[in-house]
Structure 1
């Protein structure tokens, strides 16, 4: 569903250069180059080779069919239609295949009625998929669901139908149904782009970021020009707090499509990580009416951080109206209302957040402030009475542990940072886990002092020795690292991770 995105003018200079080089090749060499590029999913290269080959054979139906498919893969509906018109004049291809290719081109152009009419002439699973996407385009979601279901009983390949149906189910909040559908798609073809992208999105929604990242990385390897795979990788790395790894990918996306709203948003996320909220606000201001909730959410945060509380409240209230229960928006709106002196409104906004079983200490703290300032302290006490202090600590420890297991480093840092605020520097494992998460997120300089504090409290703990040694190695202190890791290996000789760290320290 929406899997292909056309590359913009950033590719033009490269295309011209390659086209000049291509002029020296024979028609047979151009055809072979196009076939190889298509097999390797390098669609920009394929387009250049096909255009050159068609100079010598303008009516070659096979080349025209390849060119039309290439334009579809690149997301260029207009160019695909032009190639299909030439292909029809050349008498190439079965009518059904040409109709479905043209229907997909019309979908890319936003011409949903035309797409539905073309696909409606046929009864294959692919025809039903295209009709379902056309129905989504016109807002008829009930018809789209029926078409997806009916298409599963038709003839022909169903890989893309299952994948698009999975994304549709995910958008409707039906995560188990989406999982079942994407599993069918992957079982049918585990290397097709659509199922891999769907797997990434669904795994993310299931709280399995490592599985999501694996799917996006596989898609990026097999389809090197896929922007969906690129944006998916960036998004998951950002969620995991692995910003240093995301940065070069964002630069890659910006080089390919500098004006793409998704690229602008990702660049703003990098600025937000650095606390550059004024720059974030300026970057996202042209996108304040974006259909992407994450864009408006980050823009509202930037407004709030730069003192434009009223504008932030307006955007956040709109987001919550559109998507009731959007937790990040509720949290920010409560904060904005508190900043604007609307304590009673903040109390009403934050009460359902604080009453959630997974409410964080930060949620509870903000709610307590709103309750006190609005004269509702007794109502707040009722909620807090149901959560004993020990349970709050246990909840935060569980959240931090889960974040580390899932490699969500930012979330782990936040959880263990809150626990440290409660317990001080008295718990070695809290300090160790916080140091480990900070190191994984790239903040080795900030992590190492915490690891040393943990080591002072528990000098014989293998995990703490390993964390301190590994961080020392990252900072370039090989001698100190090797000493700590030898002690860790002696304490836990069967731990493969410690042995691997020690080998690396001794090899440097």
Structure 2
């Protein structure tokens, strides 16, 4: 079925050698070789209608709808009946972003092309936002072509777009099984694997795809993205350059190179590379965030703040955008706006240390030392709580939310908000029942299992929560799922299992900051000072010298390993960044005292730390030891 349908056709008098080589290359998934061979065949026999059809299919596989439609018109001129190419014309129209035209063309399709036409209609209806009708067309395509790899590939994309990750995984596996050299299916399975298991696990899928077609642009870009997320920058750059060679210059490859330059803090180069994208990412959240980071680091703070404000308005839950916007507002001297921007982040139980530290500094500058100390104390914790944030609503808003959720049972975000609000009111049984109903209706959605886990965890059933998070992790081993699972395992006494999950997540996602911070914290707890130093130094090289928590913990690890020369400047820097945090005062004070560099100054800092954290037994013990001399 699909693209291989015409392979059995005879050469029909054309240059048989070139045509057969082209057919063989197409069957093997080597599209560019196939195109060259078909062009040679057509040059020798321009009136060969079957060669025209095969060439059109190759162009469709390459994503060139305009050229494919032109080739199909030539095929018609050579005598091909219109009904034989309706499904291909529909595909060409879809590639030209004309879903209505695709629907019109596909209506005239005839056997044996009905499965092909149905999947194109499904894609067209997706583009028009009619997912219910799209689902019906994809069901029809499966019924007509149950062994068609292209059908299952499109079904997998549709299910993934609808949040049915489990269904998408099953469909992608069917697509690969039906045609193991289907590059589109291999790339999609790689993308799904990247979310399901992690970055390293995804690479073999992209490698397989490139083994079939070394010049497949999407496969190479997805592998480059994965290499970048792994921190394997040399390999990422090699793939990006190869994409440029294949395409003559590709916007996504320039974007990836710009990200690489920004990570290396070469912001002038990052801007230059970004400019070569031709504005392709200007309206995307990723592009807006990258441009804003470049502006922020190069002194264009107001420009960054303006763009970020627009992004936060579009995506209120985008934490990266909120953090950077708050930092820009803080740098501009608008502490009130910065605090307001950060509020949605820091009030969550899983708030990151940077946001909490910045909020603490803002409140300290505003004169609210008590509130500042609470946020700074949370920032010093090695692992934030991972359970869902509760939404406490006034009675009127809560009643309106419940009424809306009852009226719109299919609105997932609305149902999730209601569960959160119910938990905030202590209505745990109703919240859990609603969460389980969402789960039953969406068994392939990892978020549904996470929601049940959150409801169980907040109710104190951490073992039950861990089981639900495992179900979510089998579909998508994301940061949110991993951190929840680790916390639930810890709280249910399964410490070894928690450590195994953490190590696996850190291995698959070596650049994930919360995962690496948590891993380093575990090393500190085990007194693995060398491992903690290596991990914290890696974080320090990436995040710079402005994360007080990382610097403070790194200083402690160096001091415990006996390297006071390395520890002392780090402790001083951490304390300078966060003077109101008892943890930084404790670390610097203890290192000054223990090293003998300034025993009196160290004692004063330890007393300050004890006043700031009167319930911290370890700080109190170090103070008493220092007082005894």
Match of 2:288 among 278, 291, 296: 296
Q: Which has the larger radius of gyration?
A: 2
Mean Cα displacement is larger for which, 137-146 or 289-298?
A: 137-146
TM-score normalised to the size of structure 1? Answer: 0.71
Distance in 2 separating the partners of 1:306 and 1:361: 24
TM-score normalised to the size of structure 2? Answer: 0.58
- Say whether the 8 Å CA contact 2:251–2:280 is kept in structure 1: no
Q: How is 1:10-159 mapped onto 2 (pairs within 5 angstroms)?
A: 27-92=15-80, 96-122=83-109, 124-155=114-145, 157-159=147-149
Distance in 2 separating the partners of 1:180 and 1:324: 33
Mean Cα displacement is larger for which, 362-371 or 287-296?
A: 287-296
Mean Cα displacement is larger for which, 358-367 or 410-419?
A: 410-419
Instruction: Sort the Cα spacing of 1:296 and 1:436 in 2 relative to 1 into closer, same or farther, 3 A.
Output: closer
Instruction: Sort the Cα spacing of 1:244 and 1:33 in 2 relative to 1 into closer, same or farther, 3 A.
Output: same
Instruction: Sort the Cα spacing of 1:111 and 1:52 in 2 relative to 1 into closer, same or farther, 3 A.
Output: same
Distance in 1 separating the partners of 2:145 and 2:528: 66
Distance in 1 separating the partners of 2:369 and 2:163: 36
Mean Cα displacement is larger for which, 187-196 or 332-341?
A: 187-196
Q: Deviations over 1:454-479 (max 9, x none)?
A: 9x959xxxxxxxxxxxxxxxxxxxxx
Partner SS state of residue 282, structure 2: coil
Aligned residues: 418
Q: Deviations over 1:379-407 (max 9, x none)?
A: 55556677883655998997974553215
In structure 1, what is the equivalent of residue 492 of structure 2?
A: none
Distance in 1 separating the partners of 2:285 and 2:147: 34
Correspondence 1:243 to 2:221: no
Deviation, 1:305, is 0.9
Deviation, 1:243, is 0.7
Deviation, 1:413, is 9.7
Partner SS state of residue 91, structure 1: coil
- Say whether the 8 Å CA contact 1:393–1:419 is kept in structure 2: no
In structure 2, what is the equivalent of residue 415 of structure 1?
A: 517
- Say whether the 8 Å CA contact 1:409–1:438 is kept in structure 2: no
Correspondence 1:406 to 2:396: no
Instruction: Sort the Cα spacing of 1:153 and 1:343 in 2 relative to 1 into closer, same or farther, 3 A.
Output: farther
Q: Which stretches in structure 2 are left out of the alignment for 5+ residues? A: 1-13, 387-482, 487-497, 542-553, 563-629
In structure 2, what is the equivalent of residue 364 of structure 1?
A: 356
Q: Deviations over 1:79-120 (max 9, x none)?
A: 21122122223334x755511111111112222221111113
Distance in 2 separating the partners of 1:377 and 1:438: 28
Distance in 2 separating the partners of 1:284 and 1:139: 31
Q: Which stretches in structure 1 are left out of the alignment for 5+ residues? A: 1-25, 440-449, 459-508
In structure 1, what is the equivalent of residue 306 of structure 2?
A: 314
Mean Cα displacement is larger for which, 395-404 or 29-38?
A: 395-404
- Say whether the 8 Å CA contact 2:346–2:356 is kept in structure 1: yes
Distance in 1 separating the partners of 2:521 and 2:380: 15
In structure 1, what is the equivalent of residue 342 of structure 2?
A: 350
Q: How is 1:100-499 mapped onto 2 (pairs within 5 angstroms)?
A: 100-122=87-109, 124-155=114-145, 157-206=147-196, 208-285=198-275, 286-287=278-279, 290-374=282-366, 378-379=370-371, 389=381, 391=383, 401-409=503-511, 411=513, 415=517, 427-433=529-535
Distance in 2 separating the partners of 1:98 and 1:303: 51
